[in-house]
Amino acid sequence: MNASETIAAIRADARFAKAAETLAAEHDRTVADVITLTEIPSPPFGEEQRAGAYLAMLRAHGLEEVEQDEIGNVMGIRRGFGNGEILVVAAHLDTVFPAGTDVRVRREGTKLFAPGVSDDTWSLAVNLAFIRALDAAGIRTRQDLLFVGDVGEEGLGDLRGVRHLFAQSRHRPRIQAFLTVDSPQVEHIVSGGVGSRRYRVTFRGPGGHSYAAFGLVNPMYAMAEAARGLAAVEVPKFPPTTHCVSVVSGGTSINAIANAVTIEVDLRSASAVELERLDQRFLAIVDDAVATENAARSTASGVITAEIARVGDRPAGETPAGSPIRDIAAAAVAAEGYAPQFEFSSTDANVPMSLGIPALKVGAGGRGGRAHSLEEWLDVEPKESLRGMRTTLAAILALAGMEGIG
Amino acid sequence: MNASETIAAIRADARFAKAAETLAAEHDRTVADVITLTEIPSPPFGEEQRAGAYLAMLRAHGLEEVEQDEIGNVMGIRRGFGNGEILVVAAHLDTVFPAGTDVRVRREGTKLFAPGVSDDTWSLAVNLAFIRALDAAGIRTRQDLLFVGDVGEEGLGDLRGVRHLFAQSRHRPRIQAFLTVDSPQVEHIVSGGVGSRRYRVTFRGPGGHSYAAFGLVNPMYAMAEAARGLAAVEVPKFPPTTHCVSVVSGGTSINAIANAVTIEVDLRSASAVELERLDQRFLAIVDDAVATENAARSTASGVITAEIARVGDRPAGETPAGSPIRDIAAAAVAAEGYAPQFEFSSTDANVPMSLGIPALKVGAGGRGGRAHSLEEWLDVEPKESLRGMRTTLAAILALAGMEGIG
């Protein structure tokens, strides 16, 4: 059977119908769960409280080997009937919002408003709904399903949760594929993992009085040279590759040559090769900028140096066209009448993609928007939500091997 | 008589000897005055309290027309016997130190330590000592002496006190020459007034996500282009002309194109012509940088603009070699055995210099150092202090026309 036939067979099965009925019957509980979880703050590097609550939920859902790992991820296994191969079904625990953000949920009709409610708290609740639906329908899978609530997906979290899972977990050798359920819309499938390298570069120099010490090297100009250098670097449109000098600060007084100027730089590419090339180019640009400034003005009181700190490193990767996991995800999306779109983004799936493990970001169902803003919202209107949930549940079953299908 | 002969005649006069004796006899009082005044905080734009105290001192010294003007300067006249022409003898009331700085004076032997003690509080006290010495010796001058304690000499004060004196004072038409007594060392005579133009330039753009909005114009690169442009501007060594991009800030997040980047820029020259040329050049560089960035990347979401605020404007000027006031000051300095040096700096004398009025910065006597730092000090050791005071007093008398000399 090809992917479409497999999805069709699953959707035609009475057990899948029972699972879908359970999702519908339990919808209010799923909504209650997302509200509960959303109102537990989970700022970057502060996911402990939500992780603890989710760990208890995973345990209450009857999973095996429920645990929290060293980095803070929580997980548990829904055992399959096969040889112990694993499909990971993940959602991330962290939000972009700092500690102290008001995370109370405001409801207007079927819409929930709260920071983090759709990115990615909804998926945490929906993954629990999947477990209940599978149990209620008595559905078994060949592969074990490893449900994970992971830390560190956002920003400077640098994918540390999933990175740790693939670097350290005892489950690692048995993981065959990886789905991260992230944000509601199911038609947006991320198959290209945009990697990034992030730098904080501090240009230092001797400083001095703006008038009396005129002619000395100035770290401001080395910074400007580096910024101009990076701005001029041409990058391919496909695979998408980008660069940005994002933040700058330096100097103390209008009548002084600065001692130090710092920039923060974001380099991204969907191609590991292009990202590495851009990275090397940027580092050379910084070296050249320092040398140019040291040659342009006097170094009698000291030279310009650059201190380069890598503050982010997300691997690039791609689950290429023709991969069975892509065909299955697309078939599941199409079967519910959506038009599947494969996209590039930076998600937890970057890590397995970079390791050559089939991986996608899929959706949890429903509609949401304004992610990363205080106006973030999630529409849990049942019809659309359940349509999306069925989509991703069918994909999970096709990937993990539903008993009696195919 | 040439300048040296005039100075020699003054120094040989019995009345000058009596004045010098008075300075010596009253030295402890002069030291007491500098301590009293130093311990009255006088931060930028907060000179009121010290101005009030100094006003009372000027009045107690028997000056006429003692007053505070609209901008905050305090002043009074020691009447001459001539036609009402005026020599201004000024010192500045303000210090660089912000409100809340501990301004208590610590004394070690003949050294006084306190913020502002030598720049320029000592000169305020010494100018009072000059009045007492002239009175005690019965010395009359042809010109009126207008003693001024002025506001706004430091930093963003932008010379507003003396600027006001020359723009608004009823005395203005009668002012023939201007001495600002500023800092102890008398051998350093400032005859070149370094002017400055100071700008705060904010480059603005539409901003956007560093990855998703890649290709949009970035104010960071317009800033960098402008900074590099200014750095490359060649300026004359004489008259000394300098430029500096001093302070930079902008951007909010490593994964965002900045909405705004701000630089602070200091342009200086001892030549009004060169300063104007540099100023126009800088403004053109900013325009060009904006245009370059708008041409280099997409303006689909908005263009780069530059908001230019002039935050400082000190006029340049020079009292040229050959001016009688320079010859007299040099002769007075040399007569006490010092080697006079004519220097470029930015002082209250910039304003009259820029108007073509003979003006110099001269010293109050004694030794001081670490001005503008919390370790600022003044050495009031009598021998050296009195030697310096006699120097400047002789110069004042030569300039204002001592009765019976020449």
What's the ipTM?
A: 0.81
Nearest CA among B96, B82, B102 for reference residue B152: B96
A220, B258: Cβ pair inside 8 Å?
no
Query: Residue B21 in contact with residue B138, Cβ under 8 Å?
Result: no
Long-range contacts of range B60-68, CB-CB < 8 Å, 24 or more positions apart? Answer: B61/B128, B61/B131, B61/B132, B61/B135, B62/B131, B62/B135, B63/B131, B63/B147
DSSP single-letter state for residue B259: S
pLDDT tens for A112-167 read 999 999 999 999 999 999 999 999 999 999 999 999 999 999 988 999 999 999 99
Query: A interface mutation test: which of B248, B259, B313 has the most A CBs within 10 A?
Result: B248
Model pLDDT, residue A212: 84
Model pLDDT, residue B308: 98
Neighbour-count burial for B206-224, b at 16+ CB within 10 Å, e otherwise: bbbbbbebbebbbbbbbbb
Shared domain check, A210 and A177 = no
Distance from CA of A118 to the nearest CA of B (A): 19
Report the residue from B198, B214, B248 with minimal CB separation from A251: B248
Q: How far apart are CA B69 and CA B47, in angstroms?
A: 13
Count CB-CB contacts under 10 A for residue B176: 16
Residue A372 φ then ψ, to 5°: 75, 5
Distance from CA of A267 to the nearest CA of B (A): 9
B266, A244: Cβ pair inside 8 Å?
no
pLDDT tens for A51-103 read 999 999 999 999 999 999 999 999 999 999 999 999 999 999 999 998 999 99
A244, B194: Cβ pair inside 8 Å?
no
Query: Residue A231 in contact with residue B224, Cβ under 8 Å?
Result: yes
Helix (H, G, I), strand (E, B) or coil at B317: strand
Q: How far apart are CA B188 and CA B368, in angstroms?
A: 12
Model pLDDT, residue B318: 93
Q: For residue A232, what are the contacts with CB-CB under 8 A and spacing of at least 6?
A: none
Residue B25 φ then ψ, to 5°: -65, -30
Query: Residue A297 in contact with residue A194, Cβ under 8 Å?
Result: no
Range of the domain at B342: 3-193+316-400
Query: B interface mutation test: which of A198, A248, A370 has the most B CBs within 10 A?
Result: A248
Shared domain check, A155 and A18 = yes
B250, A248: Cβ pair inside 8 Å?
yes
Q: How many domains does chain A have?
A: 2
Query: Residue B346 in contact with residue B220, Cβ under 8 Å?
Result: no
Shared domain check, B241 and B115 = no
B198, A254: Cβ pair inside 8 Å?
yes
- pTM for the model stands at 0.81
Q: How far apart are CA B2 and CA B331, in angstroms?
A: 10
Q: How far apart are CA B68 and CA B206, in angstroms?
A: 50
Mean pLDDT of A358-373: 95
A248, B249: Cβ pair inside 8 Å?
yes
Residue of B nearest to A231 (CA): B221
Mean pLDDT of chain A: 96
B231, A224: Cβ pair inside 8 Å?
yes
Nearest CA among A175, A155, A176 for reference residue A165: A175
Q: The domain spanning residue B243 has which CATH number? A: 3.30.70.360
Q: How far apart are CA B395 and CA B331, in angstroms?
A: 8
pLDDT tens for A90-113 read 999 999 998 999 999 999 999 999
B254, A242: Cβ pair inside 8 Å?
no
A231, B194: Cβ pair inside 8 Å?
no
Helix (H, G, I), strand (E, B) or coil at B95: coil
Mean pLDDT of A372-378: 91
- Judging contacts by C-beta atoms under 8 Å, the chain B residues touching residue A201 are none
Is B19 among the domain residues?
A: yes
Distance from CA of A189 to the nearest CA of B (A): 16
A254, B266: Cβ pair inside 8 Å?
yes
B211, A256: Cβ pair inside 8 Å?
no
Residue A372: is its pLDDT beyond 90? no
Is A74 among the domain residues?
A: yes
Preceding omega of A327 cis (within 30 degrees of 0): no
Model pLDDT, residue B209: 86
Model pLDDT, residue B27: 98
Residue A398: is its pLDDT beyond 90? yes
Boundary (domain end) residue, out of A261, A287, A314: A314
Confidence of residue A208 (pLDDT cuts 50, 70, 90): confident
Distance from CA of B221 to the nearest CA of A (A): 6
Shared domain check, A157 and A8 = yes
Q: For residue B97, what are the contacts with CB-CB under 8 A and spacing of at least 6?
A: B41, B43, B103, B115, B116
Q: How far apart are CA A366 and CA A385, in angstroms?
A: 4
Report the residue from B227, B254, B268 with minimal CB separation from A220: B227
Is B120 among the domain residues?
A: yes
Distance from CA of B12 to the nearest CA of A (A): 40
Q: How far apart are CA A91 and CA A94, in angstroms?
A: 9
Model pLDDT, residue A201: 98
Is B405 among the domain residues?
A: no
Query: B interface mutation test: which of A154, A196, A211, A314 has the most B CBs within 10 A?
Result: A211
Residue A300: is its pLDDT beyond 90? yes
Residue B239 φ then ψ, to 5°: -60, 140
Is A406 among the domain residues?
A: no
B245, A311: Cβ pair inside 8 Å?
no
What DSSP string runs through B151-162? S--SGGGTTHHH
Q: How far apart are CA B207 and CA B226, in angstroms?
A: 19
Residue of A nearest to B346 (CA): A211
Nearest CA among B135, B214, B191, B160 for reference residue B45: B160
Q: How far apart are CA A347 and CA A332, in angstroms?
A: 21
Report the range of poorest mean pLDDT among A32-36, A152-156, A340-344, B78-82.
A152-156
Shared domain check, A155 and A66 = yes
Residue A42: is its pLDDT beyond 90? yes
Model pLDDT, residue A155: 83
What burial class does residue A100 get, using C-beta atoms within 10 Å of its C-beta: 0-12 exposed, 13-18 middle, 19+ buried? exposed
Model pLDDT, residue A230: 98
Tell me how far CA of residue A125 lies from CA of A39, A93, A303, in angstroms: 13, 11, 56
Distance from CA of B403 to the nearest CA of A (A): 42
- Judging contacts by C-beta atoms under 8 Å, the chain B residues touching residue A243 are 214
Is A14 among the domain residues?
A: yes
Is B406 among the domain residues?
A: no
Shared domain check, A168 and A204 = no
Mean pLDDT of A304-313: 96
Distance from CA of A264 to the nearest CA of B (A): 6
CA angle A306, A307, A313 (to 5 degrees): 120
Q: How far apart are CA A168 and CA A190, in angstroms?
A: 25
Q: For residue B127, what are the contacts with CB-CB under 8 A and spacing of at least 6?
A: B89, B91, B147, B181, B364
Nearest CA among B283, B216, B256, B245 for reference residue A223: B245
Q: The domain spanning residue A336 has which CATH number? A: 3.40.630.10
Nearest CA among A227, A203, A302 for reference residue B227: A227
Report the residue from B246, B253, B254 with minimal CB separation from A253: B246
Tokens 């140096």 found at: A305
By residue count, chain B amounts to 406
Residue of B nearest to A346 (CA): B211
Mean pLDDT of A286-293: 98
Shared domain check, A145 and A10 = yes
Nearest CA among A257, A358, A260 for reference residue A317: A358
Nearest CA among B60, B63, B67 for reference residue B36: B60
Count CB-CB contacts under 10 A for residue A148: 27
A255, B221: Cβ pair inside 8 Å?
no
Q: How far apart are CA A231 and CA B258, in angstroms?
A: 14
Shared domain check, B297 and B157 = no
Shared domain check, A211 and A71 = no
Boundary (domain end) residue, out of B288, B314, B340: B314
Q: How far apart are CA B205 and CA B266, in angstroms?
A: 24
Shared domain check, B301 and B326 = no
Boundary (domain end) residue, out of A280, A314, A348: A314
Is A146 among the domain residues?
A: yes
Shared domain check, A40 and A63 = yes
Shared domain check, B186 and B43 = yes
Q: For residue A21, what are the contacts with CB-CB under 8 A and spacing of at least 6?
A: none
B242, A311: Cβ pair inside 8 Å?
no
Q: What is the mean pLDDT of each run of 10 residues along chain B (406 residues)?
A: 97 98 98 98 97 98 98 98 98 94 97 97 98 98 98 92 97 98 97 96 93 94 98 95 97 90 96 95 98 98 97 94 97 98 95 97 96 92 98 98 94
Distance from CA of A224 to the nearest CA of B (A): 4
- Judging contacts by C-beta atoms under 8 Å, the chain B residues touching residue A312 are 254
Chain A residues contacting B via beta carbons under 8 Å? 155, 194, 196, 198, 210-211, 214, 218, 220-221, 223-225, 227-228, 231, 240, 242-258, 261, 264-266, 268, 296, 311-312, 346
Residue of A nearest to B257 (CA): A246
Residue A253: is its pLDDT beyond 90? no
Helix (H, G, I), strand (E, B) or coil at B137: helix
